[in-house]
Amino acid sequence: MKQLNEKVAIVTGAGQGIGKGIAMCLAKRGVKVVCTGRREAPIQQTVAEIEELGGQGLAMTCDSADRARVEEVVKAAVDTFGSIDVIVNNGQAIVPSAPVEDTTYENMLAAWQSGTIGSLNYMQAAFPYMKEQHEGRIINFASATGMFGIAGQLAYGSNKEALRGLTKIAAKEWGQYGICANVVLPGAESPAAKAWAEKFPEEYQKQVMLNPMHRFGDPEDDIAPVVAFLAGPDSCYYSGQSVIVDGANSIMP
């Protein structure tokens, strides 16, 4: 079984926020990281920072809904670094909030293509390589928005719950090949959270104080180390689970 520093990972949405935090955290632990995103400049910046630390990275633009491009990314990871061991499906399009009756087909499609369908594309593209080496890690990202049914978030939340279903079924089917699949539900200081804080500072501060730790998680220091555990050898019997990383914020009173 490979140690973490012997592995190759693809991290989607690696140009900012949680994705960038994961990419940096894994790289600091010796993982070779393929950073993907729809915009080139941010992922190139992430790779530049990885290389400044002495790590190895590769930046590739990709819309995860584009199956042919996903196949190219996975092949490039194998051709460049020799294998593909970890898929971190973090990237996700954010669509406008709306009540159920006003949610548009276009927004539903955008959420599902970038989330559930995009994650499935990466999983299926990496599967033959992981099956052959009898080892692999799939780490998908869901949200309390879907788990707890946050009003106004049908497109995003239903997609995230579908991702949890996808992950559990993959864990059941692929466990025989040494592939573990898990879900992380983060509570982090993402770019979207920062934008919300700037627009609604009083509401933001109120939500911060409702968190038992009186802060939101840092992408690299709080969320990414959990991903590193799920990507490493110590999680070889941990599969099909949803891991909430939010400082106990989601525990209901």
Q: pLDDT tens, 17-40?
A: 999 999 999 999 999 999 999 999
Q: Do 17 and 190 touch, CB atoms closer than 8 A?
A: yes
Mean pLDDT taken over the chain = 95
Write the DSSP assignment of 147-187 as a string of letters: HTT-TTBHHHHHHHHHHHHHHHHHHHHHGGGTEEEEEEEE-
Furthest CA-CA distance within the chain: 53
Query: How many CB atoms lie under 10 A from the CB of residue 253?
Result: 2
| Token reading at 124 | 């299926």
State the residue for tokens 């239903």. 158
Residue 252 has pLDDT above 70, yes or no: no
Lowest mean pLDDT among 45-54, 124-133, 139-148, 172-181: 139-148
- Residue 59 forms beta bridges with which residues? 35
Confidence band of 196 (pLDDT split at 50, 70, 90): confident
Cα–chain center distance at 225 = 13
Cα distance between residue 184 and residue 175, in whole Å: 18
DSSP 98: B
Query: To which residue do tokens 């990709």 refer?
Result: 62
Which pLDDT belongs to residue 104? 97
Give the residue, 107 or 94, on which the prediction is more confident.
107
- pLDDT of 194 above 70: yes
Band (253; pLDDT cuts 50, 70, 90): low
Show the tokens assigned to 207: 């939500």
Helix (H) or strand (E) holding 221: none
DSSP 40-58: HHHHHHHHHHHHHTT--EE
pLDDT of residue 192 exceeding 80: no
238 sits in the region (left: phi over 0; alpha: psi -120 to 50; else beta) called: beta
In this structure, is the dihedral angle defined by the CA atoms of residues 64, 123, 23 and 146, taken in order, positive or negative?
Answer: positive
Check residue 199 and give its pLDDT.
82
Active site residues: 156
User: Can you tell me the distance from the alpha carbon of 82 to that of 144, in angstroms, rounded to the nearest whole number?
Assistant: 36
| 8 A C-beta contact, residue 220 and residue 200 | no
Low-confidence winner among 12-21, 22-31, 206-215 (lowest mean pLDDT)? 206-215
Closest CA to 180 of 217, 118, 227, 212: 227
